[in-house]
A and B are shown apart, each in its own frame.
Chain A
């Protein structure tokens, strides 16, 4: 039996990146895709979920033939033959489609399990579909319920707990030390790529004051311009160290640029305020002995990677629990949704039974 609710899509679970990049829908082509779907007779409602790792079409169509029409259209749209499309895509119906959207919105089905950005992308896709006036009672309700399911999952399970990239782990740790990052002053030694990403993460979490110091003054100036920071001459940074709450080391120096003695001296001047040292350099920029100094928290690249790995494992450990809960929620939601969905071609007795089940 084919159901009235369908999901046709490809993601990192079904297709390799070479295929995904071919079926990705650019913003310019989105309108064409919507227009094409609108022209398919019997497609009552539809929405396109389009992110960097997945393209999925959610549709409500009571007639079984519509499935063939959608496949034909999507094959044409992407200039794929039907067999290739079917090979690299998934087709889900009814309760399975509901459950799938819940998993997608909750980050359970994401490449980086538990990532929070996906919920925003699902919301954007929902708004886009609404702008194209192709949503109806079933998809509207389905998407709203998926937002609720995602929120529940993030609040009540560990799927989104802990960060899984080095930069995000560093930001998380800064939050554990300082709480609000808005008042934190950040000094970056060197101008490495990971340091740059870490600064972006810190700024996204509210950090405002960023100072860069590099042996090549011009390089520091370039990065400061890009990150809206200020520049400090490398020869002067030691004198100013006590003014900073977070110091990121990413120089190419062959020996530590800050020693334990220097760190102790800094803390003598700011005993109440902790310092967070993030050592992203190899060889290390900060003497490991600094970790013994009270109120200084020193993390090197290995420490951050280990935390990211542990968080990733913990998130993956939560997948099973999340799936069980989301399946239960999907079953419940589908019981109500199928009453909103247009009647399929099936005997009246079956429809009566469905109504009876929901009534109970």
Chain B
């Protein structure tokens, strides 16, 4: 109990990421042995990591008094958190085998990467419109859509693997557990629509403020965000018109997600460094511990 109370937000987040890594290794062990892992157990491990990470992000939120999206570390952690939320919603509902394996893997890689680059968490920035709830909603929706696009990248990867296995007639090992092409194709479409709807909502909210005060928004951030939105909408239009389908569609979805990830430092730089530090969550927790000790 004391150990938990002494942990700061970053330690909680790190613990959550470590549990994602454990979930990935657990599922990987099953895949390498060509045995189906327990989906329930994997879900439980991922959910445990999610609780730890959420606690860390919540503490960080208390500290910054806003949604923690102030620097690349926080943004990546929020993308990871969103990705896991979508996996926990989609995975059990559609019984997509191996989605947990891939989600835990991507979450662990992104999360640990953001932890091992100290510069990404060196400066905490404030939102460019202060503590306005709508602009926070705008930012969190935009990053949440990245989570949806992250899962889309994973299901696209699974589609490519399944397609490859069926074309090359290699059906053993990990290929034996993949969902059907039909299921993956439909899931890709749903995730693409979901991501675009959330990102569009975010852009609509952000546009209200930009129209009022165009100078408040970093042009590079505006350009990149709009470009990513436009790219995903174009992909959707081409998919509906049956021009971009099958493997090319999957490749584009994977590539676009990586472009979106690479844009995070630029998007993050669009915020100003935090000017006023409020009471930190760690301080509050330590005070709580003092009360318990007494």
Contact = CB atoms under 8 A, between A and B. Distances in A.
Given A294-B247, A299-B169, A179 B179 contact: yes
Contact of B34 (A158, A177, A179): A158
A309 interface: no
A161 B185 contact: no
Interface string B174-199: 00101111110100000000000000
A358 interface: no
A274 interface: yes
Interface string A155-184: 111100110000000000101111110000
Contacts of B172: 162, 310, 314
B36 interface: yes
Interface in A170-218: 173, 175-180
Interface residues of B, number: 22
A240 interface: no
Interface string A265-288: 000000110100000000000000
B156 to A, nearest CB: 15
Contact of B171 (A162, A178, A180): A162
Contacts of A294: 246-247
B185 A272 contact: yes
A128 interface: no
B242 interface: yes
A291 B34 CA distance: 28
B127 to A, nearest CB: 42
Contacts of B182: 177-180, 274
A303 interface: yes
Given A158-B35, A303-B169, A176 B246 contact: no
A224 B166 CA distance: 30
A176 B169 contact: no
B110 interface: no
B36 A155 contact: yes
A44 interface: no
B62 interface: no
B167 interface: yes
A157 B36 CA distance: 8
B162 interface: yes
A14 interface: no
Nearest to A245: B182
B180 A176 contact: yes
B180 A179 contact: yes
B245 interface: yes
Contacts of B242: 271-272
Contacts of A258: none
A177 B166 contact: yes
Nearest to B169: A303
Contacts of A158: 34-35
A272 B245 contact: yes
Contact of A175 (B180, B245, B246): B180
Contacts of A307: 169, 171
A321 to B, nearest CB: 10
A176 B35 contact: no
A161 B242 CA distance: 36
Contacts of B180: 175-179
A161 B172 CA distance: 10
A179 B35 contact: no
A307 B169 CA distance: 8
Contacts of B165: 176
Contact of A295 (B162, B169, B171, B246): B246
Interface of B: 34-36, 162, 165-167, 169, 171-172, 176, 178-183, 185, 242, 245-247
Given A175-B180, A178-B182, A314-B34, 6 more contacts: A156-B36, A162-B171, A176-B180, A179-B183, A299-B169, A307-B171
13 contacts: A156-B35, A175-B180, A176-B162, A176-B171, A176-B180, A177-B166, A177-B181, A178-B180, A272-B246, A291-B167, A295-B245, A299-B169, A314-B172
